[in-house]
Amino acid sequence: MDFTLSDEFVQLKTRTERFIAEKIIPLEKEARQTAYGPTEELRHELVALGRESGLLSPHVGREWGGLGLNHRAKAVVFEAAGYSPLGPLALNCFAPDEGNMHLLEQVADAAQKERWLRPLAAGAIRSCFAMTEPPPGAGADPSLLRTTARREGDHFVVDGVKWLISGAEGAALCIVMARDEESGGATMFLSPMDAPGITVERTLDTLDQAFPGGHGVVRFKGLRVAETDVLGQVGEGFRYAQVRLAPARLTHCMRWLGAACRAHDVAASYAGRRVAFGKPIGEHEGVGFMLADNEMDIHASRLVIWHTAWLLDQGERAGHESSMAKVICSEAIWRVVDRSMQILGGLGVTGDTIVERLFREVRPFRIYDGPSEVHRWSIARRILKTKMGGR
């Protein structure tokens, strides 16, 4: 495995880091940040800055307005962007839009790409991905999908309720997953969010506040979707979900690793200047060992991300590896931010540093895109199948 970055990508990494430090971090105290994410006005300003810097949509192909980076290069740029909670928004590489753009680029037809992918890549609009449902519907177990789609002539009629739909409020596009009566499987549909039959019933109060539009409860009642707005093929929705989720889990890891690095840097700086019991607290083993553990968790996470990115760049599906990466990184990143708060002591629970915010933002990562326990269960099943097959 060759993890060497070309000179071009080293320069891109440096440019991104400088951009985040000089243009984005000064905006972190902006008043236009709400309990449900940055306002659209602020998001557009951030996107404009990303566009001016030449860093917009690094994950999208050049023909659609992006930089066309491979997965290893994305790992470097996304981590640098994630150093600020506003960084991925400025680069237009935040969830759920980043994963939706990848899905559209892989699956959508030419007309669908022109209608939806191009404005998404430009940061002109936002999107949401509607798969998760309230109990007893689909969550970590997608087979429980209850939203339905029945054919009526050259249209499908979609009915159901989704929840925890990131970015639903204010999105222009919804990619909705429904069980269609025709195939008995799942199908993905593309619909404008302002279409009759879609209602954002409420925005949930959640621990995190980084997602524009928050996390919504969305009801579909008699939504009519033209046959031409089926994404890909009827009945292939679950397969396309994996096309989206495998790399999306990894890009989550990339962005939140940047957040972990930020928390660690804040804690290390504080530990070097805060004096207690006759010396800087970083020289006491209790704090020094936490800093060392942070460094090791960050290093291990970066290696896991790079290995999985390398596999994806080789054309591997890497679903198993992305599951492992998601568990390893989400838990390691949480430990780093948690330790950083502990090192800061009382300061850590205040808004005087970014760590308190990062603490709230990274905790849900252990649940998003499948909780750690479900990934462990899947990994264990694969282990047993492999071992039993080897007897």
Q: Do 272 and 352 reside in the same domain of the chain? A: yes
Taking residues 68-75, report their average pLDDT. Answer: 94
Same domain? 101 vs 156:
no
111 with 137, same domain: the answer is no
pLDDT at 389 exceeding the cut of 80: no
CA dihedral 251, 162, 360, 55 (to 10 degrees): 30
pLDDT, one tens digit per residue, over 321-336 is 999 999 999 999 999 9
CATH code of residue 189:
2.40.110.10
Strand pairing report for 198-204 and 215-226:
antiparallel
Give domain status of residue 188, yes or no. yes
* Number of domains forming the structure of the chain: 3
Mean pLDDT estimate for the chain? 95
Residues 159-184 pLDDT 10s: 999 999 999 999 999 999 999 988 88
Residue 53: Cβ within 10 Å count: 18
Same domain, 359 and 258: yes
With respect to residue 278, please indicate whether it lies within any of the assigned structural domains: yes
User: What is the pLDDT at residue 390?
Assistant: 52
pLDDT for the residue numbered 319 = 85
Q: Above pLDDT 90, what percent of the chain? A: 90
7-19 helix and 71-81 helix, angle to the nearest 10 degrees: 20
Distance CA 198, CA 387 (A): 47
Q: What are the beta bridge partners of residue 150?
A: 157
Q: For residue 24, what are its two tokens? A: 């984005």
- pLDDT, position 374: 94
Which amino acid, residue 326? Answer: K
Same domain as 342, residue 273: yes
> DSSP strand E in 90-154: where?
127-130, 148-152
Q: Both tokens of residue 44? A: 């557009």
Confidence check: pLDDT of 391 > 60: no
Residues 216, 276 share a domain: no
Which amino acid is located at 300 in the chain? Answer: A
Over residues 87-97, the mean pLDDT reads 97
**Per the domain annotation, does 255 fall within a domain?**
yes
- At residue 278's C-alpha, the angle toward residues 275 and 279, to 5°, is 50
pLDDT, tens digit (0-9, with 9 covering 90-100), for 115-141: 999 999 999 999 999 999 999 999 989
Same domain, 251 and 359: yes
Domain coverage including residue 298: 238-389
- Same domain? For 81 and 156 the reply is no
CATH number at residue 347: 1.20.140.10
Question: Six-digit token pair at 146?
Answer: 């209850």
Instruction: Find out whether the peptide bond into 58 is cis, omega within 30 degrees of 0.
Output: no
Question: Which of residues 189, 208, 233 is at a domain's end?
Answer: 233
If one compares 345 and 319, the residue with the highest pLDDT of the two is 345
| Element containing residue 75 per DSSP (H, E) | helix 71-81
* Alpha carbon distance 177, 133 (integer Å): 10
> For residue 51, which phi and psi values (nearest 5 degrees)?
-65, -45
Per-residue pLDDT band at 312 (split at 50, 70, 90):
very high
pLDDT digits (tens, 9 = 90+) for 239-257: 999 889 888 899 999 999 9
With contact defined as beta carbons under 8 Å apart, do 42 and 115 qualify?
Answer: no
Tell me, what's the pLDDT at 176? 98
Q: Where residue 53 sits, what CATH number does that domain have?
A: 1.10.540.10
Place of tokens 């290995």: 307
Give the long-range contacts of residues 282-289, CB within 8 A, separation 24 or more. 287/343
- Inside any domain, residue 2: no
- Extract the tokens encoding 121: 């890549």
Q: Do 364 and 307 share a structural domain?
A: yes
Answer whether residue 13 shows pLDDT above 60: yes
CB 286 within 8 A of CB 48: no
Query: Quick check: is 171 in a domain?
Result: yes
Which is nearest to 164 in space by CA: 126, 130, 127, 191?
130
Of 194-198, 289-293, 376-380, the least confident: 376-380
Domain shared by 155 and 179, yes or no: yes
- Residues 79 and 173 grouped into a single domain: no
For residues 138 and 247, membership in a common domain is answered with no
Residue 315: its pLDDT value, please?
A: 87
The whole-angstrom separation of Cα 365 and Cα 333 is: 9
- The letter for the amino acid at 253 is C
Find out whether the peptide bond into 136 is cis, omega within 30 degrees of 0: yes
Residue type, 98: E
Instruction: Name the domain boundary from 79, 99, 121.
Output: 121
Q: Which residues contact 69 (CB under 8 A, 6 or more apart)?
A: 9, 58, 59, 77
- 209-236: per-residue pLDDT in tens? 999 999 999 999 999 999 999 999 999 9
Examine the fold and report which residue of 76, 92, 121 is the final residue of a domain before the chain moves on: 121
